[in-house]
Structure formats: structure tokens, C-alpha cells
Amino acid sequence: MSSAGTLHVVGAGLAGLAAAVAAAKAGQRVVVHEAAGHAGGRCRSFMDERLGRVIDNGSHLVLGANRTALAYARATGGIEAMEAAQPAFPFIDLASAKSWTVTPSRPPAGIGEILRALGLPWTGKSETVGSRLGHTASFTRFWLPMCEAIMNTAPHEASARMFTWTMRKALLGGAPALTPWIFPGGLSAALVAPALATLSLFGAEIHFRRRLKAVNSQALSFDDTEVALGAADRVILALPPWVLAPLLPGTIPDMPTRPIVNAHFRCAQPIDLPHGSHFLGLVNASGHWLFTRGDVLSVTVSAAGSLVDLDNDSIAERLWEEIRRALNLPPIPPPPYRIMKEKRATLAHDNQTTASRPGPVTGIEGIFLAGDWIASPWPCTIEAAISSGLSAARLALSRPGLTF
């Protein structure tokens, strides 16, 4: 790409921000166009007036194995707002009240099961996590919660190939790969605000409330603005598939999604989780992972199809009751809460949808795609989004060695 041209990035989720940061730091003129009044997309924080606290749309966790995400956070300085926790994953089983912790030296299962989870012997294209690991002794206490957390898809439909790939990245990398990186000041403080500051430092323009309505090789049409494209300009559409499908008719496959529900409770005082951990896995419960940040307790329900249509009061009551039992709290009603329903949190990671994820190249010259749903061995995660943004910037700028 000629340095005289402009790189237009549409969508300021993590994929778009990653593409823009990499290109702007390399000296490219960059313009970002975002429909919302804020950046971050599905990974963002906001001030919740009812709770009087900054909360995230949903609790997120990054592992040390997510190297591209960490490289992005280091390049923008956002890593300063992240914390590397101990590589220890505590669980409690609400049915038996037993608790245990998985660490690199205390593996979750016997060697036979671990080899199966790592993809050995060979994993078939049509295998699911359920068919591969559903009959193992540690299924309910480890593989099931891991599948729901990583794949946001129930084990009976989740792709075993994708799951075993992520397990290889996490379990074979030792303690550094298993180190959970958390966000004590919220997602935006680490992954969004520092990227916007970096873009501004490197002279990139960012326009909020600019919704893309149409695209072709000559122009980008927004609600009330048209941006003409010159021969040297390039475009990265960092948009979800359900937004792109009508903009690029006939090119985006139908891609089913799965919801995530988060409940945030503002407690009367800060509540510690067992062993000073920042999170706790819940087994035999509707809630899956409990996170603590000061006086806010948050619980995540992945693959939340059975919960998402319930009313907020019922969801809060059910999840609070589980929290109370897990933490041995007195029988008090739910404190003030906020329920966040992300109906299209990620793709469904079944084998068919996974195989249909398209690459970053479109049929229109100079226009590329980015987003967590673009073909990748990773499920739809921060790592997938940021890696896809970097890959799209490499293609758009014809610079295969581009880094953050």
C-alpha cells in the first residue's frame, strides 16, 4: 500500500482497534469509523448508574497462551491495567459442596483423559467435545466448564478439534500459558482506552456514530457521510457477520451465534473468594464463573440459551442463590444488580459453523475483513479478534512482517 493512501477501519471493537494500532504505529494514515458512541464493541466497560460502579459488559479472562492479545496490550501500554494472577483455577461443586483447585502441578485429570483433551489419538472432523470427553471421569468437574468458558457452546455440539487445539496451547505451555490475566480496572482501561490514546498519538482519526450503510470499491457510505476511496486507499471491515451479511450480499455464510449472560451484584462490602482468587468455577450450577472486583460480584453464564429469555429478576434470584451457597453467605435477598444479556456474544463453535468461517479477503479489491469470527484455530475470543485485526492490517498494507 502506498503511504499516500489511507487505511479506513470500520468498527472499533478489538479487531478494528488492533488493525488500526498496528497500521498507525507503522506510519500509515488511518481513519476509524465506529457506529456506536464508544469503542470496544463486545468487550467494554461502562458506568452503571444503578450500581454506581464501572462494570464490564461481561467478565473476560485472557490466558498467557493468548500471545497476540498480550502483545497488543504491551504495545498500547494497556498491560499496566492488567494483572497476572496465579495459574490456579479453583472450583466448587454446588451439588456435593466439594472444592478443589487445578494448577500446573495439580492437573485436572489422569493422563489418559489429558491426552484425549489434547487431541491424541487423532481427533475426527465431526467429533464433539461431548463425544470425545463426555464419558471421562473429569467431564463434569473440568472439561465441561472449560468447554462452556472457551467455546461458549454446549459440549454435545462444540467442535472437538477446536477445543483440543486450545487445550494444547494452554496445557502444553506450562505456568506462563496458564496464567490468567485479569482486568482489575475494567476491560476498557486495559484494552480500549490505551488503544484510542495510541491512535491519537500516532495521528489516526476516529469518528464515532458513523454507521456503515453500503460499501463498494469506490466509496464507503455512512448514515450522513460518504467517504470516497482513492486507488491507494484500503479498507478493513472489522464488523460482525450479522452486520456484514447485508452489506456484502452472497458472501457471508449464515453463522449461528450463542448468548452469554452476566449478572453483576453490588454487595455491601468487598467479598473475598476462597484462597484470595479473583475467580471461582461453579460446577453443577446455572452460573459458571464467579468474579470479584471490590464490592462487585459478577457471575458469567456461557452458552446461556436456557437462561437468556428469563426475566432479569428471576435470573438474579437464581444466580444469587448459587453465589450464596458457594460462598457460604447468610440468606439475604440479592443486593442491587445489573443483568447483561449479550444475545450474540460469539459464534456457535460447532464443527459446521467453525468450518464455514471465511478468510479475510473479499471479492472487492482493497477491502479486507477482520473480527473474532474470521477463520482461525481460536474460538471467538479476544485473541481471535486481535489476531484477525493484525492479519488484516498485514494484508491491507502488504506488510507480512507487521507487528504492534
Q: How far is the CB of 333 from ligand FAD (least distance, A)?
A: 25
Handedness of CA 195, 200, 203, 207 (dihedral sign): positive
Coil/strand/helix, residue 76: helix
Q: Please tell me the distance from the alpha carbon of residue 306 to that of residue 255, in angstroms, as a whole number.
A: 20
Nearer to ligand FAD, 71 or 212 (CB): 212
Q: Which is nearer to ligand FAD, 26 or 206 (CB)?
A: 206
What DSSP element (H or E) covers 119?
none
- The minimum distance between CB 381 and ligand FAD, in angstroms, equals 3
Pairing of the two strands 89-93 and 279-283: parallel
Phi and psi, residue 46, nearest 5°: -155, 160
Q: How far is the CB of 38 from ligand FAD (least distance, A)?
A: 8
CB 129 to ligand FAD: min, Å: 18
Q: Is 258 helix (H, G, I), strand (E, B) or coil?
A: strand
Q: In this structure, what C-alpha cell is assigned to residue 286?
A: 446455572
Residue 189 Cβ vs ligand FAD, minimum distance, rounded to whole Å? 15
Peptide bond into 121 cis (omega under 30): yes
Q: How far is the CB of 120 from ligand FAD (least distance, A)?
A: 25
Residues that bind ligand FAD (CB under 6 A): 10-16, 33-36, 41-43, 57-58, 60-62, 211-212, 238-240, 243, 260, 262, 342, 345-346, 371-372, 380-383, 385
Q: Tell me how far, at minimum, the Cβ of 211 lies from ligand FAD, in Å.
A: 4
Closest to ligand FAD by CB, 157 vs 383, is 383
Closer residue to ligand FAD in complex, CB, 127/261: 261
- Listing DSSP states for 278-340 in one string gives SEEEEESSS--EEEEETTEEEEEESS-TTTTTS-HHHHHHHHHHHHHHHHT--S----SEEEE
For residue 284, CA distances in Å to 58, 262, 272, 292, 330 come to 21, 17, 22, 20, 21
- Contact between 142 and 102 under an 8 Å Cβ cutoff? The reply is yes
Hey, is 116 helix, strand or coil? helix
- Min separation Cβ 124 and ligand FAD, Å: 26
Q: Which is nearer to ligand FAD, 189 or 325 (CB)?
A: 189
Decide whether 36 or 118 has the Cβ nearer to ligand FAD. 36
Q: CA-to-CA distance for 301 and 262, rounded, in angstroms?
A: 6
Closest distance of CB 315 from ligand FAD, Å: 14
b/e 156-192 (16+ beta carbons within 10 angstroms → b): ebbbbbbbbbbbbbbbebeeebbbbbbbeebbbbbbb
Element (H, E) at 62: strand 62-63
User: 97 or 219, CB closer to ligand FAD?
Assistant: 219
Work out how close the CB of 228 gets to ligand FAD at its nearest, in angstroms, rounded to a whole number. Answer: 17
Nearest to ligand FAD of 17, 113 (CB atom): 17
Nearer to ligand FAD, 11 or 108 (CB): 11
* 3-state secondary structure at position 154: coil
Q: Judged by CB, which is closer to ligand FAD: 28, or 381?
A: 381
Residue-level length of the chain: 404
